[in-house]
Structure formats: structure tokens, C-alpha cells
A and B are shown apart, each in its own frame.
Chain A
């Protein structure tokens, strides 16, 4: 089925907080210098866990008025929003501002606290996964739609797509969209018992790859219709799509059918073919299964050009930031266009015969991609893809 091509949406600006940098500039510098944001986790007890490292943000500057014992997820979103607002402005009436954020974990850390000694109503209400989005809406005085998307680790991409649809439907004039997630004991313990975490370095697409490490962060973009957008901008969202695997509760479909469907649909919506794609930001979790499946999917979708298109994974330095990952990766694509540099895949040193594409190993590459494809996947067979066009400097 061929959906109609839809109006592109402008990505006006972005803001972020990550384990390798507390704003967008530091994030980009960290990517191109190969900063490693993985460290021993200090914020909560990990002594009983098999793996005790992750992409933890050591210093979080709280927004004005925020309580130090408040919701960390809201703190991350607030920090990313402050960075976004330092670069752009919300020039729309409050009723025409929308918020769409993606998360895999929402306020689950608040649930842990609500089940502990803190029996307050505030803590209980904070356990809803959509609480941080509503806190952000209050902070930005956004009185239009406020949506939380939770398609696991594809959440950030789906949220940006849903945000673009709100603009196309004239439900808002500006949309703050993106994703976030917090590194907390709940998720560390879950992935620890799943044995998905590596005790070694995160090595996407490397022969020795043995699993992922988790990270935390938040990334937001400001979306506007072409007619409303200022001249200064990061780029455009040309297409987005999602698809389910219908295969397994936790593992990806062995043939990557859902991911392939999402990529093909996003490219159809964008009106582009494999010949137009200059760069791919891969999901690239560094699990043995994901990277092999994703490589196969990209070969099928991109055909003969697959081996000629540079692709990377930035999870080696950040860890897998879950709900934030796809938004960070989409922003990375746009910054690559702006700066004329593709960040390398940190941790990739020994090629895997089963992963035989151009993963930009060892050092950044001087290249200025115009059109990028970003892929994401998550628990529950969630898959999403974005097609973005960077504004060339």
C-alpha cells in the first residue's frame, strides 16, 4: 500500500542532555572526539547487579523551582528544554504549542519511590508514564496537545512522527517533540537479569560485540510547518513510519520484517529511494542479534547502494538511552549535515563478516550528508524510521 506523500515539517532547533555532554554542543563535540560516557553507576545501588556500568549523567542542573528530590525524568526533560530554548523560541500562542515525548520507562522511578517510604499522593501520581510530559507542558506553558508515546526504544522516533502529524493536521503551530529516559534501578535490574548487558565495551557491529549498556538522556526538537518556520533551522523531517513485528515479546523478528516495513514506509512517505540516501543512523545496539538483523534489513532496503552509504551507531559512547535514543540519533544526522562530519561508531575495531557495511569505524569521516535515514526498534516488536534532510551549511 502506498501512502500519500505528505507535507514536510521543519526541524527548527534542538536541545539535549546526554552522558557525553550536557547540551547540544557538548553532545556533538563528544561524538566527534569519541568521548566515552560509560562509567560506574553512582546514583543508586548496583552492588548486587552483574553489570554496574552505564551512561549515567553525573551532573544534572535542575530547572528553577525544581525540587532536588523531584522526578529525575522531568529534570532531564527540563534540561533538554532549557537547552532548546537557549537556541530557539516558542513563538506561538500557548494553546497552539504541543508536546509529544517518547519514553520507555516514564516515571517508573517515581513508582519505586511511591512503593517505598514516600507515601505522598504526588509520588503516586508521578508514577504514571505521562507525568513528565505534562510537567514539561506546564514548564513551557504549552496548552495544546500533550502526548506521551511509549513504543519502547523506538519511542523517540514515533514521538517525532506523531508531532509532525499534529502540525499537518493544524492541531498546533509549534511542537516540542523528542524522547527521554532515566537510568534507574528498575531498568538496570531488568536488563541485568535478561543478560543483555555486556561486561565489556559496547561494540556495535564489531565481531566481538557482546551486548549493550544502558544510558540516560533527553533530546527535544522544535517542529514547525514550513510556512511558520524561521529562516534559521536544522533541517526537515521528510518521512516517518512505524511497524510491528508481530513476532516476539522481547526479541526482534529474526528477519527484521517490522523494521524493514517501517523503513520502506518512511522512505515512501518522504518520496525518496535508496539512491537518495546519503547516511544511515542505525539502531546498532551491539547485541549479536540486533546488529546482524539490522545489517540484513538495510541490505534489502538499500540494495546495491547499501555498501556505499556510510552508517553509524552512537550507542558505543552513550549507552542505549532508550526513549531518548532515536531523538538523539535524528539530531546527530542533522548536525552531521551542518558540520560536514559523520561521527564514527565508537567501539567498532574488528569487522564482523556478518556485518559487512560501511559503519564508519575508528574515526569521524568528512562527509556532508543531505538526506539521512534513522532506524529504531524496541521491546514488543516496535519499529520506527525517520527520513530527515539536513540543512547544508
Chain B
């Protein structure tokens, strides 16, 4: 597959240019770097959660990065693969706590659908008119490596003409829970949303086990912080910006590390 572009928002700002050289130093005493709510308005987004807005905004950032209009991804030939480890946590917590504090109707019919992990990609499909193959994976960076592998498979088989791999992670509303489960995450926690547009071409890729972190994984952790499922997509953006060829992405979650290797050149045998 070929990478047409990566749209990126992090708690540090939009795009790679906003990233510090060293996330921990830049964070200082802060354990969490939040992402400001994007300025998306209108009636349709009135009830959308913060994390839904991040998903939509990441796709707009991608389109700007790739120099494309929305019509370039609309329709049934674009696959969407969404990944998150905990992007549903805020809405789930809000729904539970609203009920506990104010009775059964609180946080009710208008908000319950937003507790599903599928709410974030749903807002993306509605906004951009996506009607193609649709997969949602739950997990950290290793799940995103799997998602990129799935996208490559779909492109190679002709199941889609292009694929979006989208990841969104928010932490602010559940920071106390992440503090309890700190063996799963590193610090600082940096809220992020990232979306890659992938096209057919290049060598076939296959996710597989990895012994150690790739230089790209280490660079993302050093420069950005903990972004869970977003990390491999940020790594892909770094690889594209640096002109890496070939590149190797790795991602770890729950003690399992996966790798995906790719080339920028379009020539080469398909698997």
C-alpha cells in the first residue's frame, strides 16, 4: 500500500510541526496533555462528544495534508478501520455517573448511542459519506498495526479503492482510572487523533511479532508521549516526513509487540 497522507492532532497541536523534541521535558509536571475541543459547529454536532469531534477533525486534517476534498473519499469504495484503546471511556463514564446522580432519565436517549465505540467512526462516516468496508478494533498500538495490515489486505484484494485508518484517544475524563492502571500506560498521557489515507501499490505488508521497539516507535514515545492506538499512525507520519524507505512500524499493547514493514516505492511483487 502507499501512504497518501496522515492527518494528526495531539495535545501539542496540529501536525508534526507542533511536536516537542522531548515530550516528558515539555510536559514538566503535567501527567496529561489534553486536546482542545475542535471548533466544529452546527446542529448535527450539537450532541457529539469531544472524541467524536476529534475523529472528524483528524480526517479534515488528513484531507488538508493530502490536498484533497471530501469528495475524494466519499462513497462505497473507501474502507474505514477505526482503532481505540479507551476512546469510549469518557462517554461510558458520563452515562454511568449521570444515572447514579440524577436518576434513570439522565444522560438518556440522546446520549446513550454515543457510549458505543462505534459512535466516533459513525460521525466520520456521516460527515464524509463513507459507505465502504467498516471495521472497528479495540486495543492500543498493536491493534493499530493490525488495522494497517487489514487495510493493506483490503487494498490488495480490491475490497476497497482506498482505506482510512483512524485512531482517537482521550484521557482527561478518566485520568484517575489510568492512574490506577498505570502498568498499561506510560506518561505523559497525550490526547490524540490521527488518520492515514492509504492507497493500493507498493509491496504487500504483513503484521507480525516483534522483539523490540522500532526507532519510529521510540521516536513517537520520546517526542509525543503515550498516545496508545494513535502511536503507529504518528510514526507513519514521521516516516513519511523523513522520507524513510523502507520503514518499520512497531506497536505494543498488553505485553504484545507487533511490527509492520513497508516501502514507499510502488514497484515490487504483491503477496
Interface residues, chain A, with chain B CB atoms under 8 Å away: 1-4, 6, 48-49, 95, 104, 106, 108, 111-112, 114-115, 119-121, 124-125, 127-130, 134, 145-152, 158, 162, 165, 169, 171, 186, 189-195, 241-250, 257-258, 261, 265, 378-383
Contact = CB atoms under 8 A, between A and B. Distances in A.
25 contacts: A111-B96, A119-B180, A121-B180, A125-B184, A127-B92, A130-B254, A145-B146, A145-B207, A162-B135, A165-B150, A169-B149, A190-B115, A192-B104, A193-B112, A194-B108, A242-B135, A243-B76, A244-B125, A246-B130, A248-B126, A250-B113, A258-B134, A261-B132, A379-B113, A383-B134
Interface string B91-126: 011011101100111001100111111110111011
Given A171-B206, A193-B112, A150 B138 contact: yes
B115 A249 contact: no
B60 to A, nearest CB: 16
Contact of A382 (B118, B137, B181): B118
A132 to B, nearest CB: 10
Contact of A261 (B76, B88, B126, B158): B76
Given A162-B150, A243-B133, A186 B113 contact: no
Contact of B92 (A108, A247, A261): A108
Contact of B256 (A104, A114, A146): A146
A249 B117 contact: no
A150 B88 CA distance: 11
A42 B49 CA distance: 33
B176 to A, nearest CB: 8
Interface of B is mostly: mixed
Contacts, number: 194
A245 to B, nearest CB: 7
B96 A112 contact: yes
Chain B: interface size category: 35 or more
A130 B122 contact: no
Interface of B: 76-77, 80, 85-86, 88-89, 92-93, 95-97, 99-100, 103-105, 108-109, 112-119, 121-123, 125-126, 128-139, 143, 146, 149-150, 153, 157-161, 177-178, 180-184, 206-209, 254, 256, 258
A106 B108 CA distance: 20
Contact of A258 (B119, B131, B138): B131
B159 to A, nearest CB: 4
A127 B89 contact: yes
B123 A249 contact: yes
A106 to B, nearest CB: 7
A158 B154 CA distance: 14
Nearest to B48: A249
A115 B93 contact: yes
B206 A158 contact: no
Given A115-B93, A149-B138, A379-B122, A128 B109 contact: no
Given A128-B184, A186-B115, 4 more contacts: A127-B89, A129-B138, A150-B117, A194-B112
